[in-house]
Amino acid sequence: MTESLLRVEGLFASYGQLQAIRGVSFDVEAGQALAVIGENGAGKTTLFHSLSGLHGTTTGDVVFDGEHIRGVPAHELVRRGIALVPEGRRIFPSLTVDENLRVAEDQHRRRPHRARRWTRARVYELFPDLVAAARRGGHQISGGQQQMLAIGRALLSEPRLLLLDEVSLGLSPAVVKLLYQALAAIRAEGMTLVFVEQSVPQSLAFSDHLICLHKGTVRLAGTSRSQSLDDVRRAYFG
Amino acid sequence: MQLLEILINGLLVGGLYGIIGLGLSINFGTMRVVYLVHGDLIVLGAYFLVTILVPAGIPPLGAAAIVVPVLFAIGWALQRFLVGPSLGRGVLPPLIVTFGISTVLQNALLLGATADARTLQSSLASAGISLGGLTVSLVRLLDFAVGLACLGLLFLLLGRTALGRALRATSDDSETARLMAIDPRRMYAAAAGIAAAIGGVAGVLFALTFTFYPSTGPEMLLVAFEVVVVGGLGSLTGTFLGGIVLAMAQLLGAHFFGPSYALVTGHLVVFGILLVRPQGLLPRTAP
């Protein structure tokens, strides 16, 4: 039996005063991709914020690589190997594209004990669109380039688990195709992915497993291959 | 000719005003906190120099090399242990905490160094150089040169170093900075340390240039505040430019209306600029 890289058990989390996550449980094995789907307000972003340490007020258990990590702050979880590509990309506007990448690389350089698999050069190789934009301000590039930058920035922290919140939101089909090609390449190297995607067909096509959240609870869970589009849509809309 | 001399003096004193404002600008730019203790830290640096280091026989330049790291440590510690815990709970708590530290510092200086006026006695204070019929004070030239050097060093630090990038990232979005493995509390402490260290430089120059008392801190804070607001919140170049504008306004006011009108002319010019450009002369360009 394969060991889970991430195990979430009975997780409760709040978004402000609202109980957004209510007893969510799931497992993700190393090297696999889990899609998290659900309508707006289902609790997807709150779940990701809890897993990445941005939300401290949770109950339940989160185990990453055998360690209990609930309550560990975000900057410490990144060092342990969990990176989040946040919804809205959250690019640092006063930094150039290259500086946005460097700021992540700088922090990893201070931890010489871990081997470096990702460098800025590799990120530029993965996303050639960023090369010409390297000296432009983070707020001066297109939404697609921002998503590439956000993914590249997360990779430079050398994660073992990559969380992606809303991969394709607001992006053109051509850009979405490029992004998923890049994610496929990352996945082929053994990266574990947990991602939020609005498009149900895209979620089913790219993931090994899928959970559908509805009002903070898991409405549907299973392997992506075993789910029909209709079953997922029924769960999605409640 | 006299007017030209005033303008040159305004430019040079503006360098000192610029340094006084830089620390406040760094703290505000990084943490969005108005550090009400900033003026008192500058005065603390001046007292440390005049009442402890120089009487101990340390030459002023060597003493300055001690003031700056000591002030860095004080600023770092204040942020880490007193101001830091008050962040994230609204605008008021850090204001109250920095106001409290300011009050304690002023009274501690009053207790330890009395209310007597102080200044750094130095041959530099009375030295001047002639430039085509104009006499320029060497101290004021030093004020401007050091101010410019501080600005340049800050640009190098923020633009070319890992610490600088991390500080700017934290200033942009502290939550996302955490996702880059940056601990904002450490960045805030570093920013407060750097701001206090620059305050130390300002303190040394102030001691060379002017007379000061334990209660001079709030006056410095007012200068710093006006300089930062006129220049544009969070903009270092703007802060330096704001210093020059304020100093020129004060000196021109003193020239045309009499010395007692220097401060009020400065305030009126600040008021006028805010009416025309509420965002300041050189606001930060990024959203």
pLDDT tens digits, residue range B42-64? 999 999 999 999 999 998 888 98
Between CA B285 and CA A93 the distance in angstroms is: 10
* pLDDT (0 to 100) of residue B234: 78
Q: What would the two tokens of residue B192 be?
A: 């407060």
The candidate with the shortest Cα–Cα distance to B144, out of B219, B202, B224, is B202
Residues listed for chain B: 287
The predicted model gives A75-88 an average pLDDT of: 94
3-class DSSP assignment, residue A67: strand
User: Quick check: B286 pLDDT over 60?
Assistant: no
Long-range (24+ apart) CB contacts under 8 A made by B56-65 are B60/B120, B60/B122, B60/B124, B60/B204, B60/B208, B63/B204, B64/B200, B64/B201, B64/B204
Q: Does A86 sit within 8 Å of B181, measured CB to CB?
A: no
The DSSP element (H or E) to which A220 belongs, if any, is: strand A217-223
Contact B86, B97 (CB under 8 A): yes
User: Quick check: B150 pLDDT over 80?
Assistant: yes
Buried b or exposed e, range A58-70, using 16+ CB within 10 angstroms:
bebebbbbeeebb
Question: For chain B, what percent of residues have pLDDT higher than 70?
Answer: 98
> A46-60, A200-214, B18-32, B266-280: which range is least confident on average?
A46-60
Q: Does B166 sit within 8 Å of A106, measured CB to CB?
A: yes
Q: Does B162 sit within 8 Å of A75, measured CB to CB?
A: no
Closest Cα in chain A, distance from residue B278 (Å): 21
Q: Which residue has the tokens 């009400």?
A: B36
The candidate with the shortest Cα–Cα distance to B249, out of B7, B2, B5, B3, is B7
Between CA A153 and CA A119 the distance in angstroms is: 10
The answer to whether A136 contacts chain B (CB < 8 Å) is no
Taking phi over 0 as left and psi of -120 to 50 as alpha, with beta for the rest, B284 belongs to beta
B41 CB neighbour count, 10 Å cutoff: 30
The predicted model gives B177-203 an average pLDDT of: 96
pLDDT tens digits, residue range B112-145? 999 999 998 888 777 888 887 888 889 999 999 9
**Residues of chain A contacting B178 with CB distance shorter than 8 Å:** 53-54, 73-75, 78
Which of A90, A106, A137 is facing B173, going by the closest CB pair? A90
The candidate with the shortest Cα–Cα distance to B44, out of B9, B73, B14, is B73
Beta bridge pairs of residue A19 = A14
The answer to whether B236 contacts chain A (CB < 8 Å) is no
Q: Does B173 sit within 8 Å of A78, measured CB to CB?
A: no
Question: For chain A, what percent of residues have pLDDT higher than 90?
Answer: 66
Between CA B136 and CA B115 the distance in angstroms is: 31
Closest Cα in chain A, distance from residue B237 (Å): 15
The pTM of the full predicted model, rounded to 2 decimals, is 0.91
Give residue A113's pLDDT band: very low, low, confident or very high (50, 70, 90).
low
Q: Which are the contacts of B274, defined by CB distance < 8 A and separation ≥ 6?
A: B229, B230
The candidate with the shortest Cα–Cα distance to B198, out of B242, B168, B239, is B239
pLDDT tens digits, residue range B7-46? 999 999 999 999 999 999 999 999 999 999 999 999 999 9
Closest Cα in chain B, distance from residue A141 (Å): 13
| Count of alpha carbons within 13 angstroms of residue A62, beta-carbon side | 22
Please tell me which residue of chain A has the smallest CA distance to B158: A95
User: Quick check: A25 pLDDT over 80?
Assistant: yes
Please tell me which residue of chain A has the smallest CA distance to B162: A106
Please give the radius of gyration of chain B, using alpha carbons only, rounded to the nearest integer: 19
**Residues of chain B contacting A94 with CB distance shorter than 8 Å:** 168, 171-172, 284, 286
The answer to whether A137 contacts chain B (CB < 8 Å) is yes
Question: For chain A, what percent of residues have pLDDT higher than 70?
Answer: 95
* pLDDT (0 to 100) of residue A114: 61
Chain centroid to CA B112: 23
The answer to whether B168 contacts chain A (CB < 8 Å) is yes
The answer to whether B185 contacts chain A (CB < 8 Å) is no
CA angle A151, A157, A160 (to 5 degrees): 85
The answer to whether A56 contacts chain B (CB < 8 Å) is no
User: Quick check: B100 pLDDT over 90?
Assistant: yes
Contact B60, B226 (CB under 8 A): no
Q: What would the two tokens of residue A44 be?
A: 């997807």
Q: Which residue has the tokens 């120059």?
A: B205
Q: What would the two tokens of residue B38 be?
A: 């900033």
Between CA B100 and CA A101 the distance in angstroms is: 40
Q: Which residue has the tokens 């020239």?
A: B255
> A117-126, B176-185, B198-207, B230-239: which range is least confident on average?
B230-239
Give residue A21's pLDDT band: very low, low, confident or very high (50, 70, 90).
confident
**Residues of chain A contacting B287 with CB distance shorter than 8 Å:** 93, 139
Q: Does B166 sit within 8 Å of A103, measured CB to CB?
A: yes
Contact B109, B43 (CB under 8 A): yes
Q: What end-to-end distance do the CA atoms of chain B give, in Å?
A: 44
Residue A79 is given by DSSP the state H
Please give the radius of gyration of chain A, using alpha carbons only, rounded to the nearest integer: 17
User: Quick check: B287 pLDDT over 50?
Assistant: no
**Residues of chain A contacting B162 with CB distance shorter than 8 Å:** 102-103, 106-107, 109-110
* pLDDT (0 to 100) of residue A57: 63
Question: Please, which residues 179-218 of chain A have a Cβ atom closer than 8 Å to chain B?
Answer: none
The DSSP element (H or E) to which A54 belongs, if any, is: none
pLDDT tens digits, residue range A180-226? 999 999 999 999 999 999 888 898 889 999 999 988 899 888 888 88
